[in-house]
Structure 1
Amino acid sequence: MKILAIDLGKFKSVACRYITETGKSDFLIVQTHVFSFEQLLSKESPDLVVIETCSIAGWVHDLCCHHGVRCDVANPSNEAWKFKNIKRKTDRDDALKLAQLAALEQLPTVYVPTPEIRQRRALLKYRQSLITRWIAIQNHLRALFQQQGVLLDRGHRAWTETGLLAIEQHVKPLEQCGPDELWCGEVALELQAFKSICQQLQQVERKLDVFAKTDAKVKLLRTIPGVGRCTAEVVVAYLDDPQRFTNGRQVSAYAGLVPKQFQSGETDRRGRITRRGPSLLRKMLVEAGWILLRHNLWAQRLVKRLSRGQKTRRKQAIVALARKLLVRCWAMLRDGTPWCDFLPLPATT
């Protein structure tokens, strides 16, 4: 069996040609480009291609599938892949280790979604980055006005049409600002960036709204009281095929919502959540957890039971609620069933 293990780089990649029957290996350097990889696959005709998960792993995997070559994508965060107590680590070492682990069938692989799902995830991440920049500009504008002793309206009112008109009264082109009014030019630049980001957000939201209206999975998750379009589309995009998970524990571990564990002899210590997997999925689930407290009786009872009425335990209870919400979303997508409150049966006398 011929294994072609490739350590991907931005400009050049190192490929290891490994023959499992003899254990012999040799290396070659290839440009990280579609045409160069096509030439490599045509020349080598490998039985298996192994790569690490990274930003460019998607198109490399698609290219291998297009040429009818099996491609495994390794998870470098897995303990089996980590290099410990070594004096040297090179691209050749990485490629050779990929090949050796694949030959031993001990390579920790990851699920690779379709190109359409990857594009959807990328758009969701882009929306989140726009929101982050949008909030950062709002905070910067508030800080500029506070430094000058001018207070803006509280909360969202500062960013309504009336609030923006009040901000525009202090706007002045930077090239026309004197030494004592440079902050007005800074406000002008930040306000321009703020309006631009708002327009970009509107375009992204319109596109995502079109997807949500035609996606049956998103409509199914929106039957949960307190779960809106944004949370539903993120859960659908990241869970993708619910059949790839065997049970709820795997779903929780995928989102990084399970506690870290250290066990040795009689010691069995559990810590904070692992935070592995997609951070956007965890963020949306935790935010949804706070909203569910106002609209979902099941969530209210669960948080009350887990927090035991103590305010100091409320945040931990919300994280636990996010995990349970994800598991129920997975079960709904797997079975195609709408939300049910699971109200307890009345006591019989």
Structure 2
Amino acid sequence: MMICSLDLGKFKSVACFYDCKTRKFSFEAILTRRSHIDKLLDDNEFDLLVMEACGPSGWISDVCQQREIKTLVCSTNDEAWMWNKTKRKTDRDDALKLAKMAAMGVLTPVHVPKPEIREQRAIIKYRKNLDGRITRIKNGIRSTFANRGIEIDTGARAWNTGRVHIDSFRKSIAECTCDDLWKGQLDLELTQLDALTAEMQAVEDRLELFAADNPLIQIVMTIPGVGRKTAELLVAIIDDPHRFKSARHLSSYLGLTPKQYQSGETDRNGKISKRGPKLARTMLLECAWASLRYNAWSKKTFERIHGGSKTRRKKAGIALARKIAVVAWAMMRDQQAWDQSKALQEAVTDPGTQELMEEATEPHEAKPKKKAKLLRAKPHPPGPVISDEPKQRSGRGSKPTRRRGSKRRSPLKT
């Protein structure tokens, strides 16, 4: 079996041809361009093409699928990929190790989405970038007015009805004097703000058209508290719901499962791994807090997890975000919309939620609260107050202490 492994770079890549029977290998350096990749595939014959998951791996995988070449895109986050204590690290060494691990079968394959799904992920990420740039410019404008003691409207009113008051201070940078250069800076900032706002509106219009044509997004939007932005992100991230074996597999992919350290009798669970897409976790957590106002199932689930403890509210929010992702995945897999009665019935069958429901419906007089009984150890009998035994001098301090290296001072002669 002949394996071709690619160590991809931004400008240059290294290909390693590894024969599994003879264990002989050879290298070839190419440029990371489509013409060089096509020439590499035309001039060489191999059974498997292996490469790491990175930016160019998407279009290279598409080229290999068109040529019907078996391709394996592996994740670099696995433990088998950690080479922290290597004495030498070169592109050839990386390509050779990649080929050897593929021959041993220790690489974890990565799902490569279709080109349209990759474009959708990219435009969603770009929208988040635009939102951050707009927020930074608005904060800079507010800081400019605050440093000069000029009051403007708070919140969103400053950019709607209060925009006229802000525009009254702007002036072209060429017309400013040394005393009012901040007005020219304000003019440049407002120009960038208007341009970015127009770009954001164009991106939102295109994503709204995409959401209207995608039935999976419409199914996920039926969950109370889940809007279009969260639904389209979940559909883009999950892509094919059948590629996940279980809810735990999805939770691990999103990085919402706790870390685990187990050795012998030690078994500890830490914080969440955060190994998945960061944007998905951010939007899921925001959706979880917002769904508490619109979704009765979310509220009951949240109350059941934190159990009335103030210190567990953030943990309950993360757990609720994971449950929303799992519910959305199940709805996409089964092609079913949200069923409020079924969700509440499942929540009521949970013993923890059942106790909360009973406490909320019954009056406090009918069911008094029982105090928990603490099992304390029996106190030891008191000892004698005054002992007739003579006091013994302890070993420590029985001899006169003396600092090392210092001579004993003798009394002064008079």
TM-score category by the smaller chain? Answer: over 0.9
The match for 2:24 is: 24
* Structure-to-structure mapping, 1:4-83, within 5 angstroms: 4-83=4-83
User: Separation in 1 of the partners of 2:190 and 2:197?
Assistant: 11
Q: Which has the higher helix share?
A: 1
Counterpart AA for 2:134: W
For residue 311 of structure 1, report the CA deviation from its aligned partner: 3.5
Whole-angstrom CA distance in 1 between matches of 2:147 and 2:281: 36
| CA distance 1:268–1:152, change in 2 (3 Å) | farther
Q: What is the total number of aligned residue pairs between the two structures?
A: 347
Stretch moving more, 307-316 or 276-285 = 307-316
Match of 2:344 in 1: 343
Aligned mates of 2:312, 2:189 — CA distance in 1: 39
SS of the residue corresponding to residue 295 of structure 1 reads: coil
Deviation for aligned residue 1:179: 2.2
Contact 1:80 1:108 in 2 (8 A): no
Task: Give the whole-Å Cα distance in 1 for the aligned partners of 2:142 and 2:262.
Answer: 49
With the length of structure 2 as denominator, give the TM-score of the two structures.
0.82
Q: CA deviation at 1:307?
A: 2.1
Query: Is residue 270 from structure 1 mapped to residue 269 from structure 2 by the alignment?
Result: yes
In structure 2, C-alpha distance between the alignment counterparts of 1:280 and 1:45, rounded to whole Å: 40
1:178-231 Cα offsets, whole Å, 9 max, x none, are 222222111111111111111001111111111100110011011100111111
1:170 partner amino acid: F
Distance in 1 (alpha carbons) for counterparts of 2:136 and 2:200:
15
Structure-2 separation of matches of 1:259 and 1:305: 19
- TM-score normalised by L of structure 1: 0.96
Shift of 1:134: 1.0
267-276 or 231-240, which moves further after superposition? 267-276
Letter of the 2:225 partner, please give it. Answer: G
- Per the TM alignment, residue 308 of structure 1 is displaced from its structure 2 partner at its CA by 2.4
Written as runs of structure 1 = structure 2, the 5 A alignment for 1:1-349 is: 1-160=1-160, 162-341=161-340, 342-344=343-345
Indicate conservation of the 8 Å contact 1:78/1:108, yes or no: yes
Query: Match for 1:315: what amino acid?
Result: K
Distance in 2 separating the partners of 1:243 and 1:149:
58
In the aligned structure 1, how far is the partner of 2:173 from the partner of 2:306?
A: 53
Structure 1: gaps spanning 5 or more residues: none
**Structure 2 letter corresponding to 1:8:** L
Which amino acid in the other structure matches residue 202 of structure 1? Q
Take 1:266 and 1:180, find their aligned partners in 2: how far apart are those partners? Answer: 71
Q: What fraction of aligned residue pairs are identical, expressed as a percent?
A: 46
State the alpha-carbon separation in 1 of the partners of residues 148 and 112 from structure 2. 52
- Out of 162-171 and 233-242, give the one that drifted further: 162-171
- Give the Cα–Cα distance (whole angstroms) in 1 for the partners of residues 182 and 15 of structure 2: 54
- Compute the displacement of 1:101 (Å): 0.7
- Structure 1: 4+ residue segments shifted above 4 A: none
C-alpha displacement of 1:152: 2.1
Q: Greater relative contact order: 1 or 2 (C-alpha under 8 angstroms, separation 6 or more)?
A: 1
Instruction: Provide the rounded CA distance (Å) in 1 between the counterparts of 2:45 and 2:20.
Output: 15
Q: For 1:7 and 1:152, how far apart are their aligned partners in 2? A: 54
Q: Distance in 2 between matches of 1:296 and 1:29?
A: 57
Shift of 1:312: 3.3
Structure 2: distance between partners of 1:101 and 1:152: 62
Cα RMSD (Å): 1.5
